[in-house]
Structure 1
Amino acid sequence: MKHQTRLGRIASICLAGCALSVLTAGAALAQTQVRLLAPASGSGVGFAAIAEKFNAAQSDVKVEIQRVPSGESYAQAMFTQLQAGAGADLIFTNAGYGAPESMLPLAEAGQLADLTDRAFAAEFPPERVAEYWSDGKLYGLPLSLTNVGLVYNVDLLAQNGLTPPETFEELLALCDKAVSLNKSAVGIAGSSPFYFYEAVAVGTVFVEDPDWSEKRTAGETTFAGTPGWTAAFERVKTMLDRQCFPVGVQAITPPQLFADIAAGNVLMAVGPTTLMGAVVNMNPAITLKMRPFPNDAAERTAAMSVYNDALSVNAKSANQDAAFAFLDYLSQPEQMAEFVKLAGGTAPADAAAGAFPPALEDMVPFYAEGRVHTVPHHAWREPAVRGVLISSGGAFLAGSKTAAEFVADLDAAWK
């Protein structure tokens, strides 16, 4: 009778508006403990808030959040756990290919559960999120539309009579001004700078050739043979020469970057919208906005975005039914809206309607005009290429690699 009572309680919660999946008849009588592995960023904060609501709404499943520092530390923790057979029941993943935590290589290796039969799958067909599907199966719940761009501290700029740059030359002028203020103009996670390099390359490579990644996959071009990649790295070298970054930028980790922005040590930063969520959670009084990283001319500037962040279920989890229950709960519009307020980004329903929050209002014209490109590395099936953006990218920031060596390293990693 106790088991029937438990199912009845869950059914009642569902009727009250929580899309909580009914656990199977074989579920254990004791409370099921579900572990969710997430980065210690805005996403981790968002998961914790939704898990608290979920846990309070019923007593049969308890979701616990394990947060690991963002960036390579997260990927290492995820792989270590999976290889040891101790993977979390729910795993924060990224769309497509190209990153250690990318879902499609994990799915193709049998690590992730098929989500095609979940009710929310109908909202995310391959036509909308191709990076989530493999062989006709869905492997993750898209959490938000992630924009990557230039995040700026609204009040800090205004207090110093400054405005966000619309061109690369204006950005360099801000670098000079920041030096006079004993601040840095641009913060980046130099220990993991792939987003930064891709943001610069949108203007020098992908505005010119939106299909560049497909051509590279087909062997029709190379990094070294594309002047735009060298131009992107030369722009970064110019930023180094103009002291745009904090000293020792190549060693700055994502948590250190979050702290620098929250403390007002930098005027701006380059990163994803989840960066904004992490910073606001550290300093609720800060006002941040994002615009695309500027190109040589305002009319040639373009935005960059992808449904990057996702939540997947471990294919080897002994608690899959409970994990599915939380995933179904999170997929509801009310929960998604609350999640993105904390994590950053734009809820899928809002993105579909073209409704962006105030922090992203500068991005709206670019969407209206179709001046938006996807994040490049999600189309690169070899994670080592993104790895080179990190390793050689860090060396370039440190001054120990040239642009020519950098592009050669990228081509060497492409197999």
Structure 2
Amino acid sequence: MSLNPTNRRRWLSAAATAIAASVVLTGCGGSDASAPSGSEPQTIKFSYSTSNPTDTFIQDTVAAFEKENAGVKVELVKLPAETQPQTTTTQLQGGSAADVISMYSGQGQVGSMNGFAKAGLLLELKEPEFSQTLPKSIEKLYKYEDKVYAVPLSSMPAGLIFNQAKAEEVGVKLDSSSTFDDLLKQCTVAKDKGVSLAALAGTVPANPGILALTLATSSVYGPNPEWNADRAAGKATFAGEEGWQEALDGVKKMYDAGCFQDGAAGAGFDAIIGAVGQGKSLGFFAPGGAAKSIADGSKGAVTPVVLPVPAPGASEKYLGTSAEMALAGNAKTKSPTLVKKLLKFFTDKEGAEMVAKGQGTLPVNLGDYQLPASYAPIADLYKNDKVRPLPQTDWPSAKVYDSLGKGITAMITGQKTSADVLKDMDTAWGN
């Protein structure tokens, strides 16, 4: 979820602990190392943050890199998730950033790569291996003016993080083959049993926003993967796109069918944690890594799956994925060769799979990678190429996504219509 992304990461961290515990009870500057004259310092700094404070995938991958490169030292600087975008921006602008920095790809969020690249603050990755390993579907998120400035950390499928075992207990039947009408019917079944199908944080634009994006993936971006480009060229608008209308109306239909907990429009993240943790809601909308966080936090007592969200009016179901987490080099580093070597390690098979397994995500180049059990419901979508990048990282500013999230809450409370929300998004786009 990305209201701003730090809120999503803070919440996933809290949810991994609070939900698991409840269910168990109820059921930096550039390199400063000295080096021989004419050679690069072999100690570099790497600033990052993670959604779950217990995650060690960055540390483990860096340790593997150091093991393969005798004499190299990577000093890790962990930044608070809540302030990482602002801290990174301040450090890069002030000349005190680490040599390697985690950030957001594209341009649609606070602390995104494009703004830093435009300002000349990032190391250009000119070597062919960086451009050649970028999947075509996401390469524009890692390029500025057709030059590569960052590498993807992982791919995060987004959907309904669903407690299938609890659902079966109350007689709710929902799986990867379910249609939108099936979804609405199961919302009624869940409500009759005193639970909600999903918990929603209506006061946090990220949460209704990601739900709308998962619906629009099927109704808009499945049929037309280049819809954002059409919007940028003035060939399409949110207000004039039937698929966007269907997606937003779908959220309202879910609300009217009782799919969400009581008081969802006024709820925050804490309400989601409580509802799901106490078994009062069967799931929530988030990137798939949340499923691993909950499973780990509960020591295997809870093993959620990631379900694709069916969209109204869509003839086929598509899965939305995010490759928003990126790694980039500081343009002022004293060790550009070493920085690039580390970035390449994270994109090579060994490093990419270490990150994916540790984070509960997927490598951006899936290849023969074995999907974890939590992703079993979405395996066929990958197999049949029914996957699309979530679109917000390619929007011109964070204002568009913010308008979507806030607008949906206003819509489900009767303050706005879906047409109003789509017009607001067009205004936020800037033309």
Same fold (TM over 0.5): yes
Cα gap change, 1:303 to 1:262, in 2 (>3 Å): same
User: Which residue number corresponds to residue 34 of structure 1?
Assistant: 45
User: Which residue number corresponds to residue 7 of structure 1?
Assistant: none
Cα gap change, 1:214 to 1:119, in 2 (>3 Å): closer
| Per-residue deviation, 1:85 | 4.5
User: Which residue number corresponds to residue 204 of structure 1?
Assistant: 219
Question: Are 1:335 and 2:351 an aligned pair?
Answer: yes
* Whole-angstrom CA distance in 1 between matches of 2:362 and 2:330: 25
User: Which residue number corresponds to residue 152 of structure 2?
Assistant: 142
Question: Are 1:108 and 2:118 an aligned pair?
Answer: yes
* Whole-angstrom CA distance in 2 between matches of 1:210 and 1:125: 14
With normalisation by structure 1, the TM-score equals 0.78
Letter in 1 for 2:185: A
Q: Is the 8 A contact 1:96 1:378 kept in 2?
A: yes
User: Which residue number corresponds to residue 233 of structure 1?
Assistant: 248
Q: Is the 8 A contact 2:219 2:314 kept in 1?
A: no
Over residues 2-41 of structure 1, what are the superposed CA-to-partner deviations in whole Å (9 max), with x where a residue is unaligned?
Answer: xxxxxxxxxxxxxxxxxxxx99646999994624122424
Letter in 2 for 1:229: W
SS at match of 1:230: helix
Cα gap change, 1:42 to 1:313, in 2 (>3 Å): farther
Q: Is the 8 A contact 2:219 2:313 kept in 1?
A: no
User: Which residue number corresponds to residue 73 of structure 2?
Assistant: 61
* Whole-angstrom CA distance in 1 between matches of 2:126 and 2:376: 34
Cα gap change, 1:148 to 1:237, in 2 (>3 Å): same
Q: Is the 8 A contact 2:171 2:189 kept in 1?
A: no
Letter in 2 for 1:224: A
Q: Is the 8 A contact 2:35 2:42 kept in 1?
A: no
Q: Is the 8 A contact 1:95 1:131 kept in 2?
A: yes
Question: Are 1:91 and 2:101 an aligned pair?
Answer: yes
User: Which residue number corresponds to residue 331 of structure 2?
Assistant: 315
SS at match of 1:184: coil
Please report the RMSD computed on the Cα atoms of aligned residues, expressed in angstroms: 3.7
| Per-residue deviation, 1:279 | 2.7
Over residues 291-327 of structure 1, what are the superposed CA-to-partner deviations in whole Å (9 max), with x where a residue is unaligned?
Answer: 3211237852222224332222233456656654543
User: Which residue number corresponds to residue 398 of structure 2?
Assistant: 383
User: Which residue number corresponds to residue 242 of structure 1?
Assistant: 257
Cα gap change, 1:217 to 1:228, in 2 (>3 Å): same
* Whole-angstrom CA distance in 2 between matches of 1:118 and 1:44: 32
User: Which residue number corresponds to residue 173 of structure 2?
Assistant: 163
Letter in 1 for 2:330: N
Of residues 22-31 and 377-386 in structure 1, the stretch that sits farther from structure 2 once superposed is 22-31
| Per-residue deviation, 1:199 | 0.8
User: Which residue number corresponds to residue 319 of structure 2?
Assistant: 303
- Number of paired residues? 391
* Whole-angstrom CA distance in 2 between matches of 1:184 and 1:150: 13
Structure 2 gap ranges (5+): 1-32
* Whole-angstrom CA distance in 1 between matches of 2:332 and 2:375: 38
Of residues 285-294 and 272-281 in structure 1, the stretch that sits farther from structure 2 once superposed is 272-281
| Per-residue deviation, 1:412 | 0.6
Q: Is the 8 A contact 1:55 1:61 kept in 2?
A: yes
Cα gap change, 1:199 to 1:125, in 2 (>3 Å): closer
* Whole-angstrom CA distance in 2 between matches of 1:379 and 1:260: 33
| Per-residue deviation, 1:406 | 0.9
User: Which residue number corresponds to residue 186 of structure 1?
Assistant: 198
| Per-residue deviation, 1:68 | 2.9
* Whole-angstrom CA distance in 1 between matches of 2:279 and 2:269: 15
Over residues 351-390 of structure 1, what are the superposed CA-to-partner deviations in whole Å (9 max), with x where a residue is unaligned?
Answer: 1347433322222322333333221223323332123223
Q: Is the 8 A contact 2:246 2:312 kept in 1?
A: no
Of residues 47-56 and 184-193 in structure 1, the stretch that sits farther from structure 2 once superposed is 47-56
Over residues 247-281 of structure 1, what are the superposed CA-to-partner deviations in whole Å (9 max), with x where a residue is unaligned?
Answer: 45456666875676566443122222233333334
With normalisation by structure 2, the TM-score equals 0.76
Cα gap change, 1:258 to 1:112, in 2 (>3 Å): farther
Q: Is the 8 A contact 1:37 1:66 kept in 2?
A: yes
* Whole-angstrom CA distance in 2 between matches of 1:48 and 1:395: 42
Q: Is the 8 A contact 2:135 2:364 kept in 1?
A: no
Question: Are 1:273 and 2:288 an aligned pair?
Answer: yes
Cα gap change, 1:311 to 1:255, in 2 (>3 Å): farther
Cα gap change, 1:133 to 1:406, in 2 (>3 Å): same
Letter in 2 for 1:183: V
* Whole-angstrom CA distance in 2 between matches of 1:316 and 1:223: 40
